[in-house]
A and B are shown apart, each in its own frame.
Chain A
Amino acid sequence: MIRTLQQVLEQTLARLSDQVTTYLPSFLVALIILLGAWVVAFCLRILLSRAFKGRGVDRFLHESGIGPMLDHSGRLRASLIVANTVFWGIMLIGLLNAVSVFDSRLATLFVENTVALLPKLLTAGAILLVGFWLAQYMGRGALVWASNEGFPWARHLAALVRVVIAFVSVVVASDVLQFARTVFLAAFVIFAAAVMLTISLVVALNSRDFLQRLFPSRQETSRSERERSLWSHL
């Protein structure tokens, strides 16, 4: 009995030692690669954040509204974006190299999939960025229009516009990534249909009252404009 236990223990230790001697050097090399990548990336990030100015890009970020959208504090700068992009780019290359050291089927598959996914990730990221920017822009437009028209739920309307456009961009991005595309698409169709149905029902059932409530100040405006129509703003 004791002999059997000893044999099992010896076999386990031998297997463990075998695995350690097989994977430890690769693991150490991978760690060294990752550490090297981190050191290079860290140094480059510091260098770029100090040396790269990119005032033109800063101006574009500010004027286009992308900067304030991504960072509400308004401190987002081109140098920061470039430095962080380079940092994470080098870290990704380091990670892929570190994984490939193991030379296993799983590691190869991971590296291949990551490289193949990268352009799609970038495309999806760009779609999301444009989508969110557009959502913000259109939402603001709706807000100003609705508020100036005296629409009672101006902020809700603006929020709805923002959500719809952002949702569309998420659906398109998921389609590019081929990630749960049917789920997002179905959710979007249901959402859009629900919105349309709600609006149709409310308008159809309460059209007169609804419109009167929807545009009270507009009607009041028209009435009072007629009363004091000699008032010229210009």
Chain B
Amino acid sequence: MTQFNLPDDARAAVESLRNADIVIGIPSYNNARTIGHVVRAAHAGLAKYFPEATGVIVNSDGGSTDSTRQEVLSSQVEDSHLMMISTRVSAVHRLSFPYHGIPGKGSAFRLIFGIASSLKARACAVVDSDLRSITPEWIDLLIRPVLYGGYDFVAPYYHRHKYDGTITNSIIYPLTRALYGKRIRQPIGGDFGVSLPLLGAYLSRDDWETDVARYGIDIWMTTIAVAEGFRVCQSFLGAKLHDAKDPGADLSAMLQQVVGSVFSLMQQYQQVWESASGSEPVELFGFRYDVGLDPIDVKLSRMVQAFLKGFGDLSEIWSLALSPPHLDALRTLAASARLVDPRHFHIDDELWAGIIYEFAAAFRAQPPVRSHLVKSLTPLYLGRVASFVNETRDMSAAEVERRIESLCVVFEYLKPLLVRRWNGDTAPFPKLPDSRQPAPGTALEV
């Protein structure tokens, strides 16, 4: 167990406030354009839905060079515009501190959690600073299940464009659902509600200096909550619309941090996920409604080209993880992709689940090449996204959701093979009959 010490300025602020009921955390880095809106929404949410609770908004900043921190402290919200039934009793305090340590979202969260824990906040919510669609209701939906429902972890549930959140849809959601048996639709959504006991569990861990400090934080939080038996629920937040992303963001590093964190946690919680079979729904709060979403344009041919280039360059590394049948299947795929239109490129669910499972097992078996292995997934992931785009081009949101559901069922069905491979059995995965789509809740007998 490691001791997290608050920086001096944060400690002084905590000593001055002494305690709080609710802490809203907002990690940021150069988000001056959007963070004002997020702070106003958080402030309004606290004022409107928790008028008697002492609320603190904490901005944990990664050294922004724009006016992000000034925006946090100066943005105004008029209570009279909120149509409040009750009068606000307690003030909403705002704090903004730079965090120290490894630059990344996880380090920002650590400071927020440290402050919330020191203030003995009964509930803490974290929301992204680039959100354009956040409303005061988000605060209610993330905090109320913790304060009044006895839940420890509230995961978000959004409507997103079918091509948005592709790492979530193609890897993280199917994999975590198959592993831990809980259908948390947005395990790396970025906006969460957390109870004080769970905050304590997070802060007591000693893996904060790993990929958790960066993009791995979201799946780390979700997995710990599920695997350690905390009460988990979801809240429907509407649409997730965010600011434009950094064009220079390194996809392979992002993939390494997120997928590497899942694989690392698989080692820690092997006993938990090995014994879980099938999956069960997780309670969903909030009124569901359809929303309009920003259109997202994807470059199909570029993704297929990335897959082909990856096949040409990285087969040597893939062979460290993949069994000969899966390598052969990829070879066949690459050969046909060179001949046909990218719009016909297709990686089937069974092959994709097998690839992810074999990479997970190789991650465990070969520590020196972990980073290479996970980074080498990038072209495979882009190939899978291209395949998903091809399949869902003309589908409605509901149809796409059913398509993702069928992928999850395949992950659950093949899980016994993951257990076998994880424990050192190198026999190749058996080929399923072409037409066979496993029934929900079934698992392959091995």
Contacts and interface: CB of A to CB of B under 8 A. Distances in A.
B219 to A, nearest CB: 9
B246 to A, nearest CB: 8
B250 to A, nearest CB: 8
Interface stretch (B43-51, B134-142, B367-375): B367-375
Interface string B377-417: 01100000000000000000000000000000000000000
Contacts of B252: 144-145, 148
B28 interface: no
Contact of A140 (B294, B296, B317, B367): B317
Interface of B: 161, 163-168, 188, 190, 215, 218, 241-242, 244-245, 247-249, 251-252, 254-255, 258, 294, 296-299, 302, 305-306, 309-310, 312-314, 316-317, 320, 365-369, 371-372, 375-376, 378-379
Contact of A63 (B218, B302, B312, B366): B366
Contacts, number: 107
Contacts of A144: 252, 314, 317, 372, 375-376
A145 to B, nearest CB: 8
A137 B373 CA distance: 12
A148 B375 contact: yes
Contact of B302 (A68, A154, A217, A229): A217
Contacts of B254: 233-234
A226 B296 contact: no
Contact of A229 (B161, B166, B247, B312): B247
A222 B245 CA distance: 11
B104 to A, nearest CB: 13
Contact of B164 (A154, A222, A226, A230): A230
Contacts of A225: 245, 247-249
A224 B299 contact: yes
> Dominant SS at the A interface?
helix
Given A222-B248, A232-B165, 17 more contacts: A141-B371, A141-B372, A143-B314, A144-B376, A145-B252, A147-B309, A148-B310, A148-B378, A148-B379, A224-B302, A230-B161, A230-B241, A230-B294, A232-B242, A233-B167, A234-B167, A234-B215
A229 B244 contact: yes
Interface bin, chain A: 20 to 34
B247 A232 contact: no
Contacts of A222: 247-248
Contact of A230 (B190, B244, B302, B367): B244
Given A147-B309, A222-B247, A233-B166, A62 B297 contact: no
B342 to A, nearest CB: 15
26 contacts: A64-B368, A65-B366, A68-B320, A140-B316, A140-B372, A144-B252, A144-B314, A144-B372, A145-B252, A146-B313, A147-B314, A147-B379, A148-B375, A148-B379, A154-B313, A217-B302, A227-B297, A229-B244, A230-B296, A231-B163, A231-B164, A231-B245, A232-B164, A234-B165, A234-B168, A234-B190
A155 B167 CA distance: 27
Interface in A200-222: 217, 220-222
A121 B22 CA distance: 67
A3 interface: no
Contacts of B164: 230-232
Nearest to A157: B313
Contacts of B163: 231
Interface string A104-143: 0000000000000000000000000000000001001101
A231 B375 contact: no
Contacts of A63: 365-368
B296 to A, nearest CB: 5
